[in-house]
Amino acid sequence: MKKIFKYILVSLMPIYLIVTLALYAPETGNIKCTRVHIELADSLETHFTSVKEIQREIMDKGINPIGKLYSRINTEKMENVLKKNQLIASAECFKTPCGTVHIRLTQRIPILRVISNGENYYIDKDAQIMPTSGNFTAYLPLATGYINKAYAKNKLYPLACFLDQDEFWNAQIEQIYVSPEQEIELIPRVGDNLILLGKIDNFERKLANLRCLYEQALPKVGWNKYDTINIKYENQVICTRRAL
């Protein structure tokens, strides 16, 4: 009987706590916001915006909750306003019983910078256009040449993802140039040569062939022996010697 009684007591405990909280907890709607806590979750990695700028934004957009009753603070509206900031990937706003409204933000993460047709912007990890910021410049491959935004999002984005995720190529490629015929030229960080990728199709296979050259041949003959390295054609790497 004692075991049954203990089991019943333990089972009823959560119900007791819920009822107690419902009866004795203060009406949260009557709590007044006295503080806003802003957290930039990835501030150690990217610095496109800052807590001060977010503070200024909530003031300018008329969503500052300080001094307002909880019943008059619409956290969903705050989230929607902050999500319109093109540097912000996600926003979460919530209230706590102590009078603090928390704002938790994550910044968008760029993987490619594009300068073309008088425009200067990033492509982020979700293939979306992202503006540059005066606060911070990301150290990324730079794409120049004849690039419209559709080409950047649909064609250059897969290449940028590949470079971002591959440690070897992330350290190698500094610039991407797109010709009027939409052929790709790559400028490496190491060595004074031009890589002719050609059409962006099958770029992974082409770069795999180039990596074999990098790892097996160039360390022996020298990184600056060749002026151009042509990997346009399937299973071919054509090197043109530098003029003496």
- State mean pLDDT over 44-63: 90
Spell 74-96 as b/e; 16+ CB within 10 A means b.
Answer: ebeebbebbeebbbbbebebebe
Task: Write the CATH number for 235.
Answer: 3.40.50.11690
Domain-located, residue 18: no
* Residues 116, 138 within the same domain: yes
- The predicted-structure confidence for 87-97, as pLDDT tens digits, reads as follows 999 999 999 99
Backbone conformation region of residue 182, classed left if phi is above 0, alpha if psi is from -120 to 50, else beta? left
Q: In this structure, what token pair is assigned to residue 203?
A: 């770029």
* Residues 156, 235 within the same domain: yes
Q: Is the pLDDT of residue 25 over 70?
A: no
- CA-CA distance, 134 to 210, in Å (whole number)? 36
C-alpha dist (Å) from residue 81 to 60, 70, 77, 88, 104: 11, 18, 6, 11, 13
* Residues 158, 235 within the same domain: yes
What is the structure's pLDDT at 27?
A: 55
- The predicted-structure confidence for 172-181, as pLDDT tens digits, reads as follows 999 999 999 9
Question: Is the model more confident about 224 or about 27?
Answer: 224
Chosen domain end from 107, 139, 156: 107
* Residues 139, 58 within the same domain: no
Sign, CA torsion 64/65/66/72:
positive
Domain-located, residue 226: yes
Question: Is the model more confident about 119 or about 46?
Answer: 119
What is the structure's pLDDT at 60?
A: 96
pLDDT exceeding 70 applies to what percent of the chain?
86
Domain-located, residue 138: yes
pTM, whole model, 2 decimals?
Answer: 0.79
The helix/strand/coil state of 139 is: coil
What is the structure's pLDDT at 109?
A: 92
* Residues 232, 204 within the same domain: yes
Q: In this structure, what token pair is assigned to residue 150?
A: 């559709």
Domain-located, residue 153: yes
* Residues 134, 56 within the same domain: no
* Residues 44, 117 within the same domain: no
Chosen domain end from 84, 107, 130: 107
Question: Is the model more confident about 241 or about 142?
Answer: 142
* Residues 53, 156 within the same domain: no
Angle at 196 between CA 195 and CA 197, to 5 degrees: 105
Domain-located, residue 172: yes
Domain-located, residue 11: no
Number of structural domains found in the chain = 2
Chosen domain end from 107, 124, 150: 107
What is the structure's pLDDT at 46?
A: 76
Domain-located, residue 53: yes
- CA-CA distance, 163 to 141, in Å (whole number)? 8
Q: Is the pLDDT of residue 138 over 50?
A: yes
Q: In this structure, what token pair is assigned to residue 113?
A: 């910078």
pLDDT band at 234 (very low <50, low <70, confident <90, very high): confident
Q: In this structure, what token pair is assigned to residue 72?
A: 């008059």
Q: What is the CA radius of gyration of the chain?
A: 28
What is the structure's pLDDT at 17?
A: 41
What is the structure's pLDDT at 244?
A: 65
* Residues 34, 79 within the same domain: yes
* Residues 121, 94 within the same domain: no
Sign, CA torsion 68/35/17/76:
positive
Question: Is the model more confident about 235 or about 141?
Answer: 141
pLDDT band at 10 (very low <50, low <70, confident <90, very high): very low
Task: Write the CATH number for 97.
Answer: 3.10.20
Residues constituting the chain: 244
pLDDT exceeding 90 applies to what percent of the chain?
68
pLDDT band at 236 (very low <50, low <70, confident <90, very high): confident
pLDDT band at 222 (very low <50, low <70, confident <90, very high): confident
* Residues 147, 101 within the same domain: no
pLDDT band at 190 (very low <50, low <70, confident <90, very high): confident
* Residues 191, 91 within the same domain: no
Answer yes or no: are the C-beta atoms of 197 and 173 closer than 8 Å. Answer: no
Domain-located, residue 100: yes
Angle at 90 between CA 89 and CA 96, to 5 degrees: 155
Q: Which domain holds residue 49?
A: 28-107
